Chain A
Amino acid sequence: MNPVYFARRVGHAVLVVFIVSLIAFQLGEVIGDPVTAILGLDAPASAREALREQMGLDQPWPVRYLAFIGDALQGEFGMSYRAQRPVADIIVERIPATVELAISALILSLWIGIPLGVVAAIWRESCWASALMTGSVVGVSLPTFVVGIMLIFVFSVQLGMLPSFGRGQTVAIGAWQTGLLTASGLAALIMPAISLAISQVALVARLVRAEMLEVLRMDYIRFARARGIRDRVVHFRHALRNTLLPIITVSGIQIGYLIAFAVVVEQVFQWPGLGTMFLAALTESDIPVITAFLMLIACLFAGINLIVDMLYALADPRVRLAEG
């Protein structure tokens, strides 16, 4: 691979992360004052000043920012003001919950979305296909928390089948706490995963349908039909396979999206992941946690984009040439 191209992409990613870190660093102060959040309204001014000084908050922000970046590069994210614990510890213990939720939602959305898209493409004239596509618009437009609360009231309150909150029992695999190996963990995962997947299902279905329609118009499909190959084989062996490539690319980006936007679902189901952590930090101006979370998400997106760019470059020489 062209090293110049590689360097430029990496440079891009670093720039994005840098800009996000600047914004994230300001955010906590835009919405509140950490000293007020910690001490409450009733602290005397002297205690406030003392704490401000002790925490270094009296320094101008560029100084604090540089100190923060210096520490962050060494893997030190400081202490959460609110939880009084190292931010790194909190994030490490919260990552598994969010990742498991996001991946489950992704699998669910592909598992439901791909067949729907195929059906809609193959029988595109039928009323079922248009009903599916209309339904998918509804799926996209339903707010996630509404879906979540509806699910809770049906499956927890009315039917008593699924737990309304939490993650069930978890099992440790090294440092990773997984909920995938216990019955209660799986039961707890069902509704959050569905809520998170539901808007994605529509997206996947629409993408598959569009790609599939494109592919079905290709010459090799026509030739395949002309050779007398059965429809089933044409649809699933020839057409769908060629449709899947862009789907896989999109899925990679989706996973980043799902991790970042699991916030709402996590809040509704009290899912002990990064999202609930982030929302609690926002209400308390817990700058170290807010910053670390946003940086993590920025790195995730930048990383995924970088990988996708690299893969494209490997797969398609024209990308390399165009970018020089």
Chain B
Amino acid sequence: MPKSHSLILAGLALTTVLAQGAFAENLRYAGATAPLTFDPHATNDFVTTAIARQTYESLIELNAKSQLVPGLATQWEYIDNAAWRLTLREGVTFHDGTPMTAEDVSFSIMRQASSPRYKSLFGQITEANVVDATTVDIVTAQPDAVMPVKLSLLFVMSKAWAEANDVVEVPDLGAASSESYSLRHANGTGPMKLELQVPGERTVFVRNDDWWDDFTGNVDRAEYVAITSAPTRLAALLSGEVDLITDVPLQDVVRVEETAGFKVADGPQRLYMGLEMDGTRDVALASFDKNGQPLDSNPFKDVRVRRAIALAIDNEAIVSRVMRGYARPISMPAAPGFQGYAEDLEKDLGVDLEESKRLLAEAGYPDGFRTTLNCPLERYVNTEEICRASASLLARVGIEVTVNGMVWPEFARMLVNGPDSSFHLIGALGNSGDVQDVFGAILHTRDDESGLGQQNWAMWSNTDFDAVFEKLVSTFDPDERAALYREGLRIAQEQQHAIYLHQPFLIWAMADKVDASVRADSAVVLSDVTVGTE
């Protein structure tokens, strides 16, 4: 297959300005990594999902404000016996022209539920029953009140197409020995059809004129390229080789803003950053007294110490200096965009060094102590700077922190195969972005049996909190649920489950002629993008 690779770039190299005029409704955009596959069930990489989402649609969609809106399902209701009933949209066709049926939806639900990558989101699904031509029931092992939120990540694929191309099963990592057809071919219902996917390099979409919804943008062709090196990605934008880039480093924002013809857009990401502290061990790891002797206790287990740390860490300063204002300080394990977030519970603890020292003394550490902050060096924005800033803020109350920077694979292994950390920086979102999932996965006491607390890397444990969670899972009444969300968040705040730092913003840069708004899941929604003629 001859790579008609960069036909556009070829012209661009010499005639940038001309090219922009000639392909007015062609969007070229770049991000740090390439989509790994176009099989939406065979990946949980959020960049891949954000890109595949242009081709494959979910049953329920999230709008720009992260609210649930109808997608391929127009209605959803809980009908007892741990089942949700979905009413499907009529008149939807796949890109190959075949109509979407209840069979396709049922097939897709079970296919994604079988994927090892989606066990935490959909592993509970036991059946997807076709009731009639436009109705499907999803049955789970336990009642699941947040299923609709999760369904914003469930993508519908054509059953007949999957059968014809031998991709009925999600490609099996252990046994497969060849590339699966669904890796670079797609047949969804979305606003864009996949024209070309060159793994690791570029992706080309064309507009699907038969899409059931209205286009609010004017893009008829879009090309995505991966440019890993941030300075190069910025250069590609400034030289006009691409029209929009995602993942703009904070230090380059000013440069883009000061360059005529370009602008920066930002928006909150569905993620919060926090420092987690060991809530279980009797002796904290890698922690010492001021003489360098290993501690025989775990200061982090004492809520007074946790509060003392919170009072010493100035998260507003971290947001304004380290994050250069591209983040929002938080005070709970949730943020805007998370279902269940309670804005009125936000409170600024403030910085109070005297009170902090008093609490440390009361807890038996009048001189402070030494400890190690495990810090992932990538994955989230400016992590190393956040860790260093936290360390120097804590030094003011006598807690000497050594920052232990780790590359992501090393850091992830430490957590997953341990967790072997008593103090670390982490970004969290729960699995679906619903606070219930944050509670169940991150704050609930770790329990291998039930699978709860699987991402509770700090092994924080609070029986009152766990009780609130058990109640929340089995409550379907929205008002009662809202009260329980608040109760859980309040306990987390009072017990200082973690040091809540901030919600980072996603930053994109684009040419002035491009109009695109930043979405919390970092998807560039091509059907909403407008490219002007300049």
Contact = CB atoms under 8 A, between A and B. Distances in A.
Interface in B114-142: 116-117, 119-120, 123
A131 to B, nearest CB: 31
Contacts of A90: 199-200
B464 interface: no
A79 B177 contact: yes
A268 to B, nearest CB: 5
A316 B431 CA distance: 68
Contact of A32 (B12, B37, B174, B413): B413
Contact of B455 (A41, A89, A170): A41
A160 B232 contact: no
A149 B232 contact: yes
B2 A171 contact: yes
Contacts of B416: 33, 36, 41, 48
B417 A33 contact: yes
B354 interface: no
Interface stretch (A61-69, A111-119, A180-188, A291-299): A180-188
A279 B454 CA distance: 30
B40 interface: no
Contact of A172 (B1, B7, B176): B1
A51 interface: yes
A39 B179 contact: no
B4 A283 contact: no
Interface in A158-186: 160-172, 177, 182-184
Contact of A168 (B9, B172, B180, B431): B9
A56 interface: yes
B4 A280 contact: no
Contact of A177 (B3, B45, B123): B3
Contact of B228 (A44, A163, A276): A276
Contacts of B14: 161, 187
Contacts of A81: 173
Interface in B145-178: 171-178
A3 interface: no
B10 A183 contact: yes
Contact of B239 (A156, A169, A182): A156
Among B178, B180, B416: residue with most chain A CB under 10 A: B416
B240 A270 contact: no
Interface string A183-204: 1100110000000000000000
A270 B229 contact: yes
B366 interface: no
Given A166-B9, A169-B6, A43 B448 contact: no
B183 A85 contact: yes
B172 A280 contact: no
A153 B117 contact: no
Contacts of B91: none
B271 interface: no
B16 A160 contact: yes
B409 A284 contact: yes
A162 B178 contact: no
B410 interface: yes
B52 interface: no
Contacts of A72: none
Among A44, A76, A89, A172: residue with most chain B CB under 10 A: A44
Contacts of B228: 267, 270, 276, 279-280
A88 B364 CA distance: 60
A172 B431 CA distance: 44
A40 B172 CA distance: 17
A250 to B, nearest CB: 30
Nearest to B454: A44
B235 interface: yes
Contacts of A51: 116, 173-174
Contacts of B59: none
Contact of B235 (A38, A153, A276, A285): A153
A283 B179 CA distance: 22
Contacts of B431: 42
A137 interface: no
Contacts of B42: 84
B459 interface: no
A169 B229 contact: no
B380 interface: no
Contact of A269 (B9, B33, B174, B232): B232
A45 B11 CA distance: 51
B350 to A, nearest CB: 32
Interface string B51-79: 00000000000000000000000000000
Nearest to B43: A84
Interface in A40-59: 40-48, 50-51, 54-56
Contact of A283 (B11, B36, B177, B408): B408
A36 B417 contact: yes
Contacts of A280: 33, 200, 228
A43 B431 CA distance: 9
A166 B6 contact: yes
Contact of A85 (B120, B199, B238, B239): B199
A33 B232 contact: no
Nearest to A82: B36
B116 A47 contact: yes
B235 A168 contact: no
Contact of B119 (A44, A82, A171): A44
B232 A270 contact: yes
Contacts of B232: 149, 152, 164-165, 268-270
Nearest to A39: B117
Contact of A44 (B1, B123, B409): B123
B409 A164 contact: no
B178 A165 contact: no
Nearest to A79: B176
A145 to B, nearest CB: 8
B387 interface: no
B99 interface: no
A29 to B, nearest CB: 9
Contacts of A182: 10
A50 B174 CA distance: 10
Nearest to A171: B2
Interface of B: 1-7, 9-14, 16, 33, 36-37, 42, 44-45, 116-117, 119-120, 123, 171-180, 183, 199-201, 225-229, 231-233, 235-236, 238-241, 378, 407-410, 412-413, 415-417, 431, 441, 448, 451, 454-455
28 contacts: A31-B407, A33-B417, A37-B412, A42-B455, A48-B416, A54-B173, A79-B173, A86-B179, A145-B229, A156-B241, A160-B239, A162-B13, A166-B5, A166-B6, A168-B13, A169-B4, A169-B7, A169-B9, A171-B2, A182-B10, A184-B6, A187-B10, A268-B229, A270-B225, A270-B228, A279-B228, A280-B33, A283-B407
Given A51-B174, A171-B2, A284-B409, 7 more contacts: A32-B413, A44-B120, A56-B174, A84-B173, A145-B229, A184-B6, A283-B407
Interface of A: 31-33, 36-48, 50-51, 54-56, 76, 79, 81-86, 89-90, 145, 149, 152-153, 156-157, 160-172, 177, 182-184, 187-188, 267-270, 272, 276-277, 279-280, 283-285
